[in-house]
Amino acid sequence: MERELDRFLDNSLVASMAYVSVAVLALIVVLYLFELVTSYSCWEEIKKGNLSVAMATGGKMLGICNIFRFAIAADQSIYECIGWAAFGCAILLAAYILFEFVTPVFRIDHEIEQDNRAVGLIAMVISVALSYVIGATIN
């Protein structure tokens, strides 16, 4: 089965669709995991016009996709790409949780939910910046 899939992936168009499909599926799964660790509903807050939540969520999306970009660029098999991307997304999720705990002055989730745009922006930048560091470790 694995060899047949590898033969399919020799076609650039099929490989491109496979990588994009896996990345989109992972994006949905990882965003769902982020939704579980936040104290607010991202999509409900975005629907209400909460720009801070939109920025923080957008940063997570950019971060997840950037990690996949590095995993794909490492030019390994799709299986290794999935493994590296899963590892990178787990680190990104752990970093978000750690960010909440190491900020003693205020609660990040609460500030984002209250539409504190400065906190939403910094959360977005942290997600994107960390994705570059995480991505650089993928080989």
- Per-residue model confidence as pLDDT tens digits over 13-40: 888 898 899 999 999 999 999 999 898 9
- Domain range enclosing 36: 2-136
Q: Distance from CA of residue 12 to its chain's centroid?
A: 25
pLDDT tens digits for range 47-74: 999 999 999 999 999 999 999 999 999 9
Can you give the pLDDT at residue 139? 74
Can you give the pLDDT at residue 1? 54
Can you give the pLDDT at residue 105? 81
Q: Rounded CA gap, 56 and 34, in Å? A: 11
CA pseudo-torsion sign 27, 33, 38, 40:
positive
Can you give the pLDDT at residue 78? 83
Mean pLDDT of the chain: 90
Q: Rounded CA gap, 134 and 85, in Å? A: 9
Can you give the pLDDT at residue 9? 74
Can you give the pLDDT at residue 14? 85
**129 or 99: whose pLDDT is higher?**
129
pLDDT > 70? residue 2:
no
Per the structure, the count of domains in the chain is 1
pLDDT tens digits for range 77-97: 888 889 999 999 999 999 988
